[in-house]
Amino acid sequence: MYVILVYDIKLDEKGKRVLPKVYKICKKYLIHIQNSVFEGELSKSQIFQLKRELSVHTRDDLDSIIVFSSREKRWLDKEFWALKDDATSNFL
Amino acid sequence: MYVILVYDIKLDEKGKRVLPKVYKICKKYLIHIQNSVFEGELSKSQIFQLKRELSVHTRDDLDSIIVFSSREKRWLDKEFWALKDDATSNFL
Protein backbone atom coordinates (compact mmCIF):
# COMPACT_ATOMS: atom_id res chain seq x y z
CA MET A 1 0.00 0.00 0.00
CA TYR A 2 1.13 3.55 -0.73
CA VAL A 3 0.62 5.59 2.42
CA ILE A 4 0.47 9.30 3.27
CA LEU A 5 0.47 10.07 6.99
CA VAL A 6 -0.17 13.53 8.42
CA TYR A 7 -0.09 14.30 12.11
CA ASP A 8 -0.94 17.21 14.34
CA ILE A 9 0.22 16.76 17.93
CA LYS A 10 -1.19 19.26 20.40
CA LEU A 11 1.83 20.97 21.92
CA ASP A 12 0.84 21.15 25.56
CA GLU A 13 3.28 20.01 28.26
CA LYS A 14 2.81 16.31 27.50
CA GLY A 15 2.58 16.94 23.77
CA LYS A 16 6.15 18.21 23.72
CA ARG A 17 7.23 14.72 24.73
CA VAL A 18 4.74 12.97 22.44
CA LEU A 19 5.86 14.79 19.27
CA PRO A 20 9.47 13.46 19.05
CA LYS A 21 8.23 9.94 19.76
CA VAL A 22 5.62 10.12 17.01
CA TYR A 23 8.17 11.60 14.61
CA LYS A 24 10.69 8.87 15.36
CA ILE A 25 8.17 6.07 14.86
CA CYS A 26 6.95 7.54 11.57
CA LYS A 27 10.55 7.90 10.34
CA LYS A 28 11.10 4.20 11.03
CA TYR A 29 8.39 3.26 8.53
CA LEU A 30 8.05 6.20 6.14
CA ILE A 31 9.83 9.03 4.35
CA HIS A 32 9.58 12.52 5.82
CA ILE A 33 8.45 14.89 3.07
CA GLN A 34 7.18 17.92 4.98
CA ASN A 35 6.97 19.22 8.55
CA SER A 36 4.35 16.72 9.72
CA VAL A 37 3.83 14.70 6.53
CA PHE A 38 5.24 11.28 5.72
CA GLU A 39 4.81 8.92 2.80
CA GLY A 40 5.92 5.49 1.75
CA GLU A 41 5.15 1.98 0.67
CA LEU A 42 3.96 -0.30 3.50
CA SER A 43 2.41 -3.72 3.72
CA LYS A 44 -0.88 -4.08 5.57
CA SER A 45 0.89 -5.66 8.52
CA GLN A 46 3.40 -2.79 8.66
CA ILE A 47 0.51 -0.32 8.68
CA PHE A 48 -1.06 -2.22 11.54
CA GLN A 49 2.22 -2.24 13.44
CA LEU A 50 2.78 1.50 12.83
CA LYS A 51 -0.73 2.24 14.06
CA ARG A 52 -0.16 0.18 17.20
CA GLU A 53 3.19 1.84 17.96
CA LEU A 54 1.75 5.31 17.52
CA SER A 55 -1.31 4.59 19.65
CA VAL A 56 0.95 4.03 22.68
CA HIS A 57 1.85 7.73 22.59
CA THR A 58 -0.93 9.70 20.89
CA ARG A 59 -3.88 11.02 22.86
CA ASP A 60 -7.23 10.33 21.24
CA ASP A 61 -8.76 13.56 22.47
CA LEU A 62 -5.89 15.89 21.53
CA ASP A 63 -3.70 14.55 18.75
CA SER A 64 -4.77 13.99 15.18
CA ILE A 65 -3.33 11.43 12.80
CA ILE A 66 -4.82 10.96 9.35
CA VAL A 67 -3.66 8.18 7.07
CA PHE A 68 -4.45 8.09 3.37
CA SER A 69 -3.68 4.88 1.57
CA SER A 70 -3.86 3.69 -1.98
CA ARG A 71 -3.37 0.21 -3.32
CA GLU A 72 -1.22 1.51 -6.16
CA LYS A 73 1.24 4.40 -5.97
CA ARG A 74 0.57 5.24 -9.62
CA TRP A 75 -3.04 6.11 -8.72
CA LEU A 76 -1.76 9.16 -6.92
CA ASP A 77 0.15 12.11 -8.36
CA LYS A 78 2.36 14.30 -6.23
CA GLU A 79 3.32 17.87 -7.01
CA PHE A 80 5.51 20.33 -5.15
CA TRP A 81 4.02 23.76 -5.68
CA ALA A 82 6.55 25.63 -3.60
CA LEU A 83 9.72 24.51 -1.83
CA LYS A 84 10.85 21.17 -3.14
CA ASP A 85 12.23 18.88 -0.44
CA ASP A 86 14.85 16.38 -1.43
CA ALA A 87 12.84 13.49 -0.03
CA THR A 88 15.32 10.87 -1.16
CA SER A 89 17.86 12.11 1.37
CA ASN A 90 15.44 11.13 4.11
CA PHE A 91 15.40 7.46 3.26
CA LEU A 92 16.22 5.26 6.23
CA MET B 1 -9.78 15.11 -9.24
CA TYR B 2 -9.60 14.23 -5.56
CA VAL B 3 -6.97 16.46 -3.98
CA ILE B 4 -4.99 16.44 -0.73
CA LEU B 5 -3.04 19.63 -0.06
CA VAL B 6 -0.51 20.00 2.76
CA TYR B 7 1.36 23.19 3.46
CA ASP B 8 4.20 24.28 5.68
CA ILE B 9 4.69 28.05 5.78
CA LYS B 10 7.90 29.22 7.41
CA LEU B 11 6.82 31.46 10.26
CA ASP B 12 9.31 34.28 9.99
CA GLU B 13 8.09 37.89 10.02
CA LYS B 14 6.66 37.75 6.50
CA GLY B 15 5.44 34.19 6.99
CA LYS B 16 3.05 35.32 9.70
CA ARG B 17 1.25 37.34 7.05
CA VAL B 18 1.53 34.63 4.39
CA LEU B 19 -0.05 31.89 6.51
CA PRO B 20 -3.56 33.36 6.94
CA LYS B 21 -3.66 34.21 3.23
CA VAL B 22 -2.71 30.66 2.24
CA TYR B 23 -5.23 29.24 4.71
CA LYS B 24 -8.01 31.44 3.36
CA ILE B 25 -7.33 30.54 -0.26
CA CYS B 26 -7.22 26.81 0.54
CA LYS B 27 -10.51 27.09 2.46
CA LYS B 28 -12.12 28.63 -0.62
CA TYR B 29 -11.43 25.50 -2.65
CA LEU B 30 -11.04 22.66 -0.17
CA ILE B 31 -12.14 21.20 3.17
CA HIS B 32 -9.89 21.75 6.18
CA ILE B 33 -9.26 18.39 7.82
CA GLN B 34 -6.19 19.00 9.96
CA ASN B 35 -3.90 21.86 11.02
CA SER B 36 -2.28 22.33 7.62
CA VAL B 37 -4.10 19.66 5.59
CA PHE B 38 -6.95 20.16 3.15
CA GLU B 39 -8.84 17.82 0.86
CA GLY B 40 -11.56 18.00 -1.73
CA GLU B 41 -12.81 17.40 -5.21
CA LEU B 42 -11.52 19.88 -7.79
CA SER B 43 -11.53 20.13 -11.55
CA LYS B 44 -8.21 20.55 -13.34
CA SER B 45 -8.95 24.20 -13.98
CA GLN B 46 -9.77 24.78 -10.30
CA ILE B 47 -6.46 23.17 -9.35
CA PHE B 48 -4.70 25.47 -11.78
CA GLN B 49 -6.49 28.48 -10.33
CA LEU B 50 -5.71 27.45 -6.74
CA LYS B 51 -2.06 27.01 -7.64
CA ARG B 52 -1.96 30.45 -9.25
CA GLU B 53 -3.64 32.15 -6.27
CA LEU B 54 -1.30 30.52 -3.79
CA SER B 55 1.81 31.33 -5.80
CA VAL B 56 1.13 35.05 -5.31
CA HIS B 57 1.84 34.61 -1.59
CA THR B 58 4.10 31.62 -1.05
CA ARG B 59 7.88 31.95 -1.19
CA ASP B 60 9.56 29.29 -3.29
CA ASP B 61 12.62 29.16 -1.07
CA LEU B 62 10.83 29.01 2.29
CA ASP B 63 7.29 27.64 2.07
CA SER B 64 6.36 24.12 1.12
CA ILE B 65 3.12 23.06 -0.55
CA ILE B 66 2.60 19.46 -1.61
CA VAL B 67 -0.45 18.42 -3.58
CA PHE B 68 -1.48 14.80 -4.00
CA SER B 69 -4.19 14.11 -6.52
CA SER B 70 -6.08 11.07 -7.64
CA ARG B 71 -8.45 10.73 -10.55
CA GLU B 72 -10.92 8.80 -8.41
CA LYS B 73 -11.66 9.41 -4.74
CA ARG B 74 -12.39 5.70 -4.26
CA TRP B 75 -8.76 4.89 -5.09
CA LEU B 76 -7.77 6.44 -1.81
CA ASP B 77 -8.77 5.34 1.69
CA LYS B 78 -8.74 7.73 4.62
CA GLU B 79 -8.43 6.71 8.25
CA PHE B 80 -8.39 8.78 11.42
CA TRP B 81 -6.05 7.06 13.84
CA ALA B 82 -6.40 9.57 16.64
CA LEU B 83 -8.59 12.65 17.01
CA LYS B 84 -11.43 12.60 14.52
CA ASP B 85 -12.23 16.01 13.06
CA ASP B 86 -15.77 16.69 12.00
CA ALA B 87 -14.69 17.73 8.55
CA THR B 88 -18.21 18.27 7.26
CA SER B 89 -18.62 21.28 9.55
CA ASN B 90 -15.82 22.99 7.65
CA PHE B 91 -17.62 23.06 4.34
CA LEU B 92 -17.81 26.51 2.85
Does residue B79 form part of some domain? Answer: no
Does residue B80 form part of some domain? Answer: no
CA distance A30 to chain B (A): 16
From chain A, the residues in CB contact with B55 under 8 A are 81-82
CA distances in angstroms from B37 to A13, A48, A56, listed in the order given = 24, 23, 24
Mean local confidence (pLDDT), B62-78? 93
pLDDT tens readout for residues B23-45: 999 999 999 999 999 999 999 99
Does residue B84 form part of some domain? Answer: no
The pLDDT of residue A84: 61
pTM for the whole structure: 0.88
Does residue A86 form part of some domain? Answer: no
> Within 10 Å of residue A78's Cβ, how many Cβ atoms?
14
- Closest CB to A64 among B4, B65, B82: B82
Range(s) of the domain holding residue B43: 2-73
Does residue A44 form part of some domain? Answer: yes
Does residue A61 form part of some domain? Answer: yes
Mean local confidence (pLDDT), A46-72? 95
Residue A23 pLDDT grade (very low, low, confident, very high; cuts 50, 70, 90): very high
Does residue A90 form part of some domain? Answer: no
Are the beta carbons of A3 and A69 closer than 8 angstroms? yes
Closest residue in chain B to residue A33, using alpha carbons only: B66
Q: What are phi and psi of A29, to 5 degrees?
A: -105, -30
Does residue B92 form part of some domain? Answer: no
Are the beta carbons of B66 and A78 closer than 8 angstroms? yes
- Reply yes or no on whether the pLDDT at A88 is more than 60: no
Q: What is the CATH number of the domain that holds B8?
A: 3.30.70.240
The pLDDT of residue A90: 44
Tally of structural domains, chain B: 1
